[in-house]
Amino acid sequence: MICGIDEAGRGPVIGPMVVAGVAVRDDDELVEMEVKDSKKLSVDKREELEEKIKDVSTYAYRVIPAEEIDVLRDDITLNQIEVGLFSSIIDEICDPTTVVYVDSACTDEEAFSQMIQTELSDEMDIVSRHGADDIYPVVSAASILAKVKRDQEVERIAEELEQDIGSGYPSDVRTRSFLKRWVDEHGELPPYTRKSWETAREILNLARTKRLDEF
């Protein structure tokens, strides 16, 4: 068996981070599907492949909301959060004979592999690589599941708030406009925002400064 683990939504200021794991006997069917790094696929293609991947694999998700990310970051790093999520999925869908391929979140690939190993119930063969979602089809498959789930979560948030929140990434003009508009109207950051993110703090502080200038 082989397994791939990847995340979507590590950097956004709005919405959850999603980690997905995909386990298969071999990657022949995934290669035949022509899975790729999710960032290289259209929305329609990702959604089409998602169903096919689920049909041929054992898979699992972890969805960690913005509020929980903020709380955890008081004590541990984002890399450590990822390690915990990766390890949890590996324990759920893999056995000790499984070779696990992960997209390394750490500059030191071997160190990231060792961090995961320390959290596991069993000794595992873990291959940690930068850009693994572009190298190993099984990690590409995991990246697709994670991205589709993350997009669904962002869409749900937008519908609940009845606002165009964009992609949730700090570089997205629509996301920044939404945050500024919400803070101006409500005096606080909106739900589902990672309040520990620099972008969120900057926008909130700017709004508070503007209010003080009005007095």
Tell me, yes or no, whether 120 and 167 share the same domain.
no
Residue span of the structural domain in which 206 resides: 161-213
Tell me, yes or no, whether 143 and 185 share the same domain.
no
Tell me, yes or no, whether 153 and 165 share the same domain.
no
Q: At residue 16, does pLDDT exceed 60?
A: yes
CA within 13 Å, CB half, 106: 17
Tell me, yes or no, whether 185 and 168 share the same domain.
yes
Q: What is the C-alpha to C-alpha distance for residues 84 and 82, in angstroms, rounded to an integer?
A: 5
Could you read off the pLDDT of 188-207 as tens digits, one per residue? 999 999 999 999 999 998 87
Q: At residue 97, does pLDDT exceed 50?
A: yes
Question: Strands (DSSP E) along 45-204, which ranges?
Answer: 58-64, 99-103, 125-129
Could you read off the pLDDT of 129-183 as tens digits, one per residue? 999 999 999 999 999 999 999 999 999 999 999 999 999 999 999 999 999 999 9
Mean pLDDT, residues 41-61 taken together: 97
pLDDT at 211: 57
Q: At residue 215, does pLDDT exceed 50?
A: no
Mean pLDDT, rounded, of the chain: 95
pLDDT at 206: 84
Q: pTM of the predicted model, to two decimals?
A: 0.94
Report the CATH number that the domain containing residue 147 is assigned in CATH.
Answer: 3.30.420.10
Q: How many domains does the chain have?
A: 2
Mean pLDDT, residues 104-131 taken together: 94
3-class state of residue 29 by DSSP: helix
Q: What is the C-alpha to C-alpha distance for residues 154 and 161, in angstroms, rounded to an integer?
A: 11
